[in-house]
Amino acid sequence: MKYLSALVLLLCASWCSAQTIDQSRGIDPSVDYTALAGYAPWDDRNYLLTSSDLQILAPNEAELISPVPVFFRVLYRQENPATPRTGEPQYPRALLNYFKMRFDGYLLDGQIFRQLEYRAGQGYEVQQVAGQTPVGMIEEAVRGLSANIQVNGPGTAAESAVVYKPSDSQIVIAGFNGSGQDMYFSSDGGETWTESPALTGATCCDPAMDWSSDNSFAYVVTLGGNDVWFYRSDNDGQTWDSLEDLTPGDDRRELAGPTGGLDDKEYIHVDRTPGSPFLDNIYITWHQGNILQVAVSSDFGDSFTINGFPGEPTGIGSDITTDAAGNVYHFWPANNLRQIRMNVSADGGQTWGASSIPANTMANFDWPLPSIESRRAFLYVSADTDLTGGPFNGRMYISWTDTTEPDSNTNAQANHSVIRVAYSDDQGATWTETIPHETDDTDDVDRWHQWLKVGPDGTLHVAFYDTRNFADRTGVDFYSSFSTDGGATWSAPERLTDVSSPNLPGNFEFGDYNGLDISAEGGIAIFTDSRDETGGGGVSADVYVAPVIFDILAEEFFQDGFEAVPPPPVQ
């Protein structure tokens, strides 16, 4: 006990100096709030802790040297009850990143501070100059995207996708429909972008990207001619000619389904799960004449085998995910049946079982809305699996855009659009549906063109267009919600765009889909945007990225108290 007391005093000598702690602001008079500063840098959300909250901390909490404030340690332990309470390594090394993602920084007197100064022998001190990064600051703060950033140069662009490099979230790759399929890369988390040389051939559109398990290769698919074309990069997306090392003069693989007809709406997934018998298998899904196809490569994209499903219901807008055992799950919306379909392969995509029905839908294929009356909202599936080892490990998720009632094919005003999410813990045998946004305003607000992603900490994210800022439902902003309990309940949607997008003229409008990715250091959404960058009437379709907001709970926590986390379930 002597050692612990001395340690607390030593740490407090540094950390307490960064903030004057007012005991009267605490909600529990029995808690010595000044003493909490001995554990970590001070954060004013500590004032909402009670003595019962503190019981969850480890007996040797003061020895766990980590620049994460006490309130978040308590919250983390509440959400992760299996966290050890003895020994030195109790928290994950990424705990600071998780804190910064959800709460943005340290709250002191109404301001958020994101940097710490380390003083030898004394510990960390929260910087008291908001927004500044003095020389010698530790770059432990989240290095995520800071604002809305336009990716493309002059010219119309839409239908976008984005991926972080799993081992380094400062490396980001984006693709979208522009002058053909345009590819961009960023080395600073998405703050600035450089266009890659054009993909060879007359590429069209519908980008999708992923990475090999060791991050040595990035992959991209596009439509070229009537086929799906596949390219590989060995320099983080700066160029897409890596396959030429294997076949000089040929830097792509052309995938043509066996049924004939126009290929469309491709997506890609790589099995990166350690221990999977099909580690690094590449799976590409698309439709050819509305008949679903899946291509598989087990040699890093050098060659592919293709399976078609002419006996299954037809569809457009498919996605693929895998589980820890290497099972492959293939989802698509079945045309004219108002169903989401799934078939499964247990042998790395070589053979497939008959499809099942994870969900029924109100909508069928596409439908007009006041905000996208010409191109029309589109029913497609986004899928992902929690492989983080957390409390929902193995849970599989799908999301889709739907309507509240059977859709009208002609009356945009009559249609009301929502986002649905479903999850399964038994390999797709049974499913539970939730809605990741408010439901009491669906007659006045449309949500559409979603994308879904599981973060490295197991938090589930979904991003989508939302018309709440337009009384006539004609314009959009981009929003995101997240769930820390496996999709059962959701945070209130947070606006990602800092400028709204008015209705776009023309028949392509906002295109068919957007993208989302999550790393341990932040999140990034990519979407079509119609804001006027010229200052007067220059409305056009452009591609933007925005940081995905993680600090919604911080606001609820500070306003409503600790017991307000997590938010109430959506009814």
- Token pair, residue 531, equals 């804001």
**Could you tell me if 477 and 465 are in contact, meaning their C-beta atoms sit under 8 angstroms apart?**
yes
Q: Phi, psi at residue 91, to the nearest 5°? A: -95, 150
Q: What is the mean pLDDT of residues 55-84?
A: 84
183 pLDDT more than 50: yes
Q: Is the pLDDT of residue 545 over 70?
A: yes
Q: Does the pLDDT at position 176 exceed 70?
A: yes
Q: Over the stretch 436-495, which tens digit does the pLDDT of each residue have?
A: 999 999 999 999 999 999 999 899 999 999 999 999 999 999 999 999 899 999 988 999
pLDDT, residue 42, reads 85
Q: Which helix (H) or strand (E) holds 571?
A: none
Separation CA 526–CA 532 (nearest Å): 18
Q: How confident is the model at residue 416 (pLDDT cuts 50, 70, 90)?
A: very high
Question: Is the pLDDT assigned to residue 136 strictly greater than 70?
Answer: no
* Distance from C-alpha of 267 to C-alpha of 276, rounded to nearest angstrom: 21
* pLDDT at position 118 over 80: no
Given a cut of 90, whether residue 12 has pLDDT beyond it is no
Give yes or no for residue 142 having a pLDDT over 70: no
* Beta-carbon contacts of residue 315 (< 8 Å; ≥ 6 apart): 287, 290, 292, 332, 333, 334, 335, 341
Report CA dihedral (194, 198, 199, 203) to the nearest 10 degrees. 120
User: 423 or 256: whose pLDDT is higher?
Assistant: 423
| Residue 134 CB burial class (10 angstroms; 0-12, 13-18, ≥19) | exposed
pLDDT reading at 220 higher than 80: yes
Percent of the chain with pLDDT over 90: 62
481, 437 in Cβ contact below 8 A?
yes
| Closest among 447, 431, 448 to 439, alpha carbons compared | 447
Residue 343 has what pLDDT?
A: 98
Q: At what angle do helices 95-103 and 70-79 cross, to 10 degrees?
A: 100
Count CA atoms closer than 13 A to 289's CA, side-chain side: 9
The Cα–Cα gap between 320 and 297 comes to 14
Rounded Cα distance between 521 and 261, Å, is: 43
Distance from the Cα of residue 210 to its chain's centroid? 14
**How much is the pLDDT for 279?**
98
- Would you state the pLDDT for residue 549? 66
Q: What is the pLDDT of residue 552?
A: 36
Alpha helix stretches (DSSP H) within 254-333: none
Q: Which of 30-34, 52-56, 125-129, 205-209 has the highest mean pLDDT?
A: 205-209
Residues 269, 296 contacting (CB under 8 angstroms) = no
pLDDT at 116: 64
pLDDT at 102: 74
pLDDT at res. 385 = 98
What pLDDT does residue 375 have? Answer: 92
Mean pLDDT of 528-549: 82
- What pLDDT band is residue 188 in, cutting at 50, 70 and 90? very high
Model confidence at 5, pLDDT cuts 50, 70, 90, reads very low
Q: How many CB atoms lie within 10 A of CB 556?
A: 16
On the question of pLDDT at 527 being above 60, the answer is: yes
pLDDT at residue 84 in the model: 80
Over 70: is that where the pLDDT of 6 sits? Answer: no
Q: What is the pLDDT of residue 202?
A: 80
% the chain with pLDDT above 70: 84
Q: What is the pLDDT of residue 99?
A: 79
Query: Which of 488, 481, 482, 479 has the alpha carbon at shortest distance from 459?
Result: 482
Q: Bridge-partner residues for 525, per DSSP?
A: 516, 546
Using the predicted structure, report yes or no on whether residue 301 has a pLDDT greater than 90. Answer: yes
The answer to whether the Cα torsion of 264, 512, 387, 114 is positive or negative is positive
Dump strand ranges (E) for 75-128.
106-108, 111-113, 116-119, 123-126
Q: DSSP code of 338?
A: T
Question: In the predicted model, what is the mean pLDDT of residues 371-393?
Answer: 95
- pLDDT tens digit string along 14-25? 333 446 788 888
Mean pLDDT, rounded, for 235-241? 98
8-state DSSP, 203:
B
Residue-level pLDDT at 170: 93
187 burial class (0-12, 13-18, 19+ CB within 10 angstroms)? middle
Question: 545 and 525 in contact (C-beta within 8 Å)?
Answer: yes
Res 1: pLDDT = 27
Helices (H), 28-177: 33-36, 51-54, 70-79, 95-103
**SS3 of residue 233 by DSSP:** strand
Place 39 in a pLDDT band, splitting at 50, 70 and 90.
confident
Q: How far apart, in whole angstroms, are the C-alpha atoms of residue 537 and residue 393?
A: 49
> Which pLDDT belongs to residue 122?
54
Distance CA 9, CA 13 (A): 6
* Average pLDDT along the chain: 85
Whether residue 13 is predicted with pLDDT greater than 60 in this model: the reply is no
Pick from 83-97, 215-229, 317-331 the range whose average pLDDT is largest. Answer: 317-331
Residue 232 tokens read as 């590989």
CA distance 467 to 479: 10
Q: What are phi and psi of 196, to 5 degrees?
A: -80, 155
Tokens representing 46 are: 């500590």
Is the predicted pLDDT of residue 315 greater than 90, yes or no? Answer: yes
Alpha-carbon dihedral 491, 211, 327, 259, rounded to 10 degrees = 110
Query: Is residue 506 predicted with pLDDT exceeding 90?
Result: no
pLDDT higher than 90, residue 106: no
Is residue 558 pLDDT above 60, yes or no?
A: no
Amino acid type, 388: T
Residue-level pLDDT at 414: 98
CA–CA separation, 149 and 239 (whole Å) = 22
- The domain limits of the chain are 2-126, 149-564
Provide CB contacts within 8 A for 507, sequence distance 6+.
374, 375
Between 330 and 45, residue with greater pLDDT: 330
Q: Which amino acid is at 338?
A: R
At the topology level of CATH, where does 149-564 sit?
Answer: Neuraminidase (2.120.10)
